[in-house]
Amino acid sequence: MRLPILFSILLSVLYACSAPTALVESRQKKPSSLKEAAAGGIPGNMVHDERSGFHYNFEYDRNNLYINLAADDQDLVNKIAFFGLTVWVDKEGQRNREQGFRFPLPARVPVVPPSDTRQGRQPGRNSAGTQRTVAGAAAGTPGYLLDMAENIELIGIYGTSTRMVRTRDSRIRVTASMVNDVLVYEAVVPFEMLGWGYDPIAAGGKMSVGLETGYFDPPSPSRQAPAARRPDGGLGQPGRMPGQYPGRYPGQYPMPEQVRAGQRTGPLASLSRPSRLWVNLEFSSTAP
């Protein structure tokens, strides 16, 4: 009984040790925006994490942490644009998901196409067609979705649990946009969001930042049966099938596990798992 627990602990320790470490240099002067720099491709000073697909770079000054991200992998771009990105900031240098923010928020896109009663289609019946529809839309609209994003979700900021505000009203300044085929993401995080008077150098010069995208997770299909017309089920079938709807054969109504299986093999299979990355930050001792 103890072996699985020990094995899981060992995996957690190994995973924590595998987190990359980034040296955070002080920002001596205001650089050009990442959006301008990315016009010629992803800047060379950004580190690429092959497992998650993120390109990243961090800087700081006396008051703020500057988070610069880029993505040129189409799946990662779609996950961020369609399903959102959560940024966690842990001043203890661990992987605590207590303080952070989410921007952009998940886009409001249809995941179930309208039912077509003329063809006898029911909600949830055509999950494969749904995936093709969303997959086709995802290839062409990330830039539009990012440009329309105007809300940010604050998590554990200033003593509050979770609240959503307009980006223009947030002390965390964040933007995301497409430059050619590259998604660029810039966030300015005040150190005071981690606690009044917080100084990363005085606190030991270590911090960790976590990145976690949303992912495609289709809703459970509708299991509402049509109104019966006759006691035998109204469709010419003899009575009720055990555990099924009147006059319906097993499998005629898709069950959630069937949708999950399609999710793992359909056009959106590459979007059905989140992309995650934790980076351990070590602040240089050079005073900003």
**Fold of the domain built from segment(s) 20-105+149-216+273-283:** Immunoglobulin-like (2.60.40)
Burial bucket for residue 165 (CB in 10 Å: 0-12, 13-18, 19+): middle
C-alpha 73/C-alpha 182 separation (Å) is: 8
Tokens 């499998």 correspond to what residue?
251
DSSP 106-129: PP---SSPPP-GGGT--TTTTHHH
- What is the model's pLDDT at position 221? 55
Domain locations in the chain? 20-105+149-216+273-283
Provide the pairing of β-strand 151-155 with 21-26. unpaired
pTM: predicted TM-score of the whole model, two decimal places:
0.71
- pLDDT tens for 80-109 read 999 999 999 998 889 999 999 999 999 875
- What is the model's pLDDT at position 137? 52
- What is the model's pLDDT at position 219? 63
* Residues 282 and 21: beta-carbon distance below 8 Å: yes
Q: What is the CA radius of gyration of the chain?
A: 24
Tokens 């942490």 correspond to what residue?
65
Q: What is the mean pLDDT of each run of 10 residues along the chain (288 residues)?
A: 49 55 74 70 91 95 92 95 95 91 83 36 43 50 91 86 91 94 94 82 85 84 50 44 44 49 68 94 71
Spatial CA neighbour of 178 closest among 77, 109, 102, 44 = 77
